[in-house]
Structure 1
Amino acid sequence: MLIAAPFIDALKGKPVAHVWRGHSSAIFLEFGSLTDKKRLDGTLGQPGGELTLMIEWSWRVERPRSILGGSWSAERRWPSMFKHLIGCQVTQIDFLGTLPEISLCLSNGLRVVSFMTAEGQPSWALIARQPNLGNLCVKRGKFYVEPPSP
């Protein structure tokens, strides 16, 4: 888990600044200060945080004793669920299972958890722009750090 330590240190204490939906059931949690991003066509896209957690699919938001919702919940419920995350600070980052899934504990008692339910690898990435650490993900069942972009 030493490979994940710089990412944990960078993320701990950061507030969730923005949550948005990607393609299908992918979600993106943006942490820290936001920066405007432009798409290739020049239009304004979703803002990016200092760090981003991307979970491609199979995720849930947990209360202390129940599930608030997740990737299989009615999509109309997602915006109100995401609002519960905004402004909360990351208090703890855990990695669960033999094939590492990510779990973020937030200051309001909620937890965001990835859990791949299909063949392959866990499908999440922690993207660190500030500090520019690269991307933490899982490849071949182990943590993998993609080098920072130039």
Structure 2
Amino acid sequence: MTDWIEHFRAAAHGLPVSRVWRGHGSALFIELGALTPRYRHDGMPGEPEGEIGLMIEWSWRIEEGPSIACGSWSDEDLWPSTFARLIGRSVQDLSTFGRIPEVTLSLTGNLHVASFMTSEGDPAWTLFDRRRSGPVAIICRNGVIGVES
């Protein structure tokens, strides 16, 4: 497959946001579609995974209408209520923007989640497709979108 963004756009379209959670630091995880339980190496429950997942390690923002509801540099007290507003919203679009590809997830209710790296190196986002036996993950490296090894 050569157009990975189109693959993820088609796979995510219409799926509901099932879970939004915070990873280490300001890492944001958005799980789409049916959730599957996950277990850590020690047997303890981990975070459930959606059919499609978006991880933005940092920097990110959540836009609501014409303004920014919160972002990775916002007061962390704003995050839980903003994350909760994403739950149940359906994916309208998933696309990239910019010369160095950043990702944006557009949801019903005029909500949008966008990555926007503000440091040297590559954008820090990953898309996961877990619908098959072998999951596919894509990233941006050196300005090119490709499969994570």
RMSD of Structure 2 on Structure 1 (CA): 1.3
Contact 1:63-1:110 at 8 Å conserved across structures: yes
SS where residue 138 of structure 1 aligns? strand
Contact 2:8-2:94 at 8 Å conserved across structures: no
* 5+ residue gaps, structure 2: none
Q: In 1, Cα distance between the equivalents of 2:64 and 2:77?
A: 19
> Structure 1 length normalisation: TM-score?
0.93
Deviations 1:42-74 (A, max 9, x none): 111111100110000110000121100010111
Give the corresponding residue for 1:128.
129
Give the corresponding residue for 1:57.
58
* Structure 1 segments of 4+ aligned residues over 6 angstroms from their partners: none
* 5+ residue gaps, structure 1: none
Contact 1:27-1:55 at 8 Å conserved across structures: yes
Give the corresponding residue for 1:41.
42
Q: In 2, Cα distance between the equivalents of 1:109 and 1:25?
A: 23
> Structure 2 length normalisation: TM-score?
0.94
Give the corresponding residue for 2:146.
144
Q: In 2, Cα distance between the equivalents of 1:122 and 1:61?
A: 17
Give the C-alpha shift of residue 146 in structure 1.
2.8
Give the corresponding residue for 2:89.
88
How many residue pairs end up in the alignment?
Answer: 147
Q: Is residue 24 from structure 1 mapped to residue 15 from structure 2 by the alignment?
A: no
Taking only the aligned residue pairs, the percentage that are identical comes to 46
Contact 2:5-2:95 at 8 Å conserved across structures: no
Which letter does structure 2 place at the counterpart of 1:92?
A: D
Give the C-alpha shift of residue 3 in structure 1.
3.0
Which letter does structure 1 place at the counterpart of 2:53?
A: T
SS where residue 131 of structure 2 aligns? coil
